[in-house]
Amino acid sequence: MSTPTTSPAPAGPGGLAPKIAAEEEARVSAGRRFIDRLIRARELGLLVVLALIVIVTGVIEPNFLDADSLKQTVLNVAIIAVMTAGMTLVIVTRNIDLSVGSILGLSAFVCGDFLTKNPDVPWPVGVVIAVVIGAACGLLNGVLVTWGRVPALVVTLGTMYALRGVAFLVTDGRQINAEDLPDSFLTAGSGDLLGIPTLIVVALLVIALFWFVARDYAWGRQLYAIGSSGRSGGQAAKLAGLKSDRRVTQAFVISGALAGLGGAMFAARYGTVDATAGQGYELRVIGAAVVGGVAIAGGSGSVLGAALGAVVLGTIQTALIVLKIDDFWQQAIVGLLIIVAIALDRLIAKQSEALLRQRSARRRTAA
């Protein structure tokens, strides 16, 4: 007499397999919703902080709430916000770009110099030249980081100084002034489009484009996957079939191109450009990204959050100036804000990892 055997649960509609799969999918979805809520809460928190800064400063110094004053504050942030969008794509891959300030200075001068010497050429040509120069510098960074296997911190620190040296060589002690630039170019920098300052429109379009691409397209999700697998040297991403080197290089190219665009915006906004243009911008851009929730360890953050971080930092700096706070305390407050943002990022990362471990343990128990 044969020993009876227990047959596995049927995989059909009435079996246990679909039920287990559905429960697992529900757990994963719940984990994603939790992480999404954390990210949204961070961005909502930035909006609350921004509102408080504006209200408190406006109460102490009513001139701060003047429409022209607020417009100038946002215009000053527009260039940083554009560059922050590119920096976000680099940081989520667990890299960093310290050369964006030097790229801005070089591209701003070349753009302004070209338009000064060719006043009959349409000014968008100068903008394209600035973007191409930035993209070429970003490509150099990307190739050295990926194919050269040199840490991004080392590469971009070197190119930061090298490109600044090139800027001094190109300028040869010269300075471009507003009276040398075409009026149409300066008008684009100070004019309006449908009642909104042109530079703000450009910043909003750039932020919306890369926020949408990074959030909803496979290319953007791959950048996050590369950053998340950074602790294993990117091997997890490569084993998953992702072209890590190509994607990281593309992120650097975009960061450089947007820094070049920022250079053209800088020339149009201020009209005066020399070899020192953009000095210190790299720290402002990185600080804005970190305050906006982009994890310096890679793998998380959003372009929208980074842009909000740029607005918050820019508003704080303007408010401190309006309130006549000493320079030392201005720097100290901004530095403290960045430290708090990094600490908050680590807290969120630990909470997310703990949640994923719990759900993983429950899945093993259910299996």
Q: Using the predicted structure, report yes or no on whether residue 20 has a pLDDT greater than 50.
A: no
Strand ranges, E, within the chain: 192-193, 196-197
Question: Which residues on neighbouring strands pair with residue 284, listed in sequence order?
Answer: none
**Position 338, amino acid:** I
Which region among 36-40, 137-141, 151-155 has the lowest average model confidence (pLDDT)?
A: 36-40
What digits encode the pLDDT tens for the residues 199-249? 999 999 999 999 999 988 989 888 988 888 765 445 556 666 677 889 999
pTM: 0.82
Angle at 262 between CA 82 and CA 89, to 5 degrees: 40
In sequence order, what are the residues at sequence separation of 6 or more whose Cβ sits closer than 8 angstroms to the Cβ of residue 269? 75, 78, 79, 189, 190, 199
| Residue appearing with tokens 């600080």 | 287
Instruction: Report the phi/psi class of residue 273: left, alpha or beta, with left for phi > 0 and alpha for psi in -120 to 50.
Output: beta
Structure tokens at 106: 């070089």
Distances (CA, A) of 246 to 47, 156, 177, 260: 35, 18, 40, 21
| Cα–Cα dist 76/112, whole Å | 19
What digits encode the pLDDT tens for the residues 269-307? 999 999 999 998 999 999 999 888 888 888 888 999 999
Residue 99: per-residue pLDDT: 96
Residue 144: per-residue pLDDT: 95
Q: Using the predicted structure, report yes or no on whether residue 40 has a pLDDT greater than 60.
A: no
Helix (H, G, I), strand (E, B) or coil at 196: strand
Half-sphere exposure of 43 (CA within 13 A, CB side): 14
Which of 91, 33, 46, 45 lies closest to 352, judged by CA? 33
The pLDDT > 90 percentage for the chain reads: 44
In sequence order, what are the residues at sequence separation of 6 or more whose Cβ sits closer than 8 angstroms to the Cβ of residue 260? 103, 104, 107, 130, 131, 132, 133, 134, 135, 137
Distances (CA, A) of 219 to 140, 214, 233: 21, 7, 20
Question: Which residues on neighbouring strands pair with residue 192, listed in sequence order?
Answer: 197
Report the largest interatomic distance among the alpha carbons of the chain, rounded to a whole angstrom: 104
Contact of 252 with 145, CB cutoff 8 Å: yes
**Which has the higher per-residue pLDDT, 325 or 136?**
136
Helix (H, G, I), strand (E, B) or coil at 146: helix
Which of 292, 286, 294 lies closest to 308, judged by CA? 292
Which of 98, 77, 79 lies closest to 87, judged by CA? 98
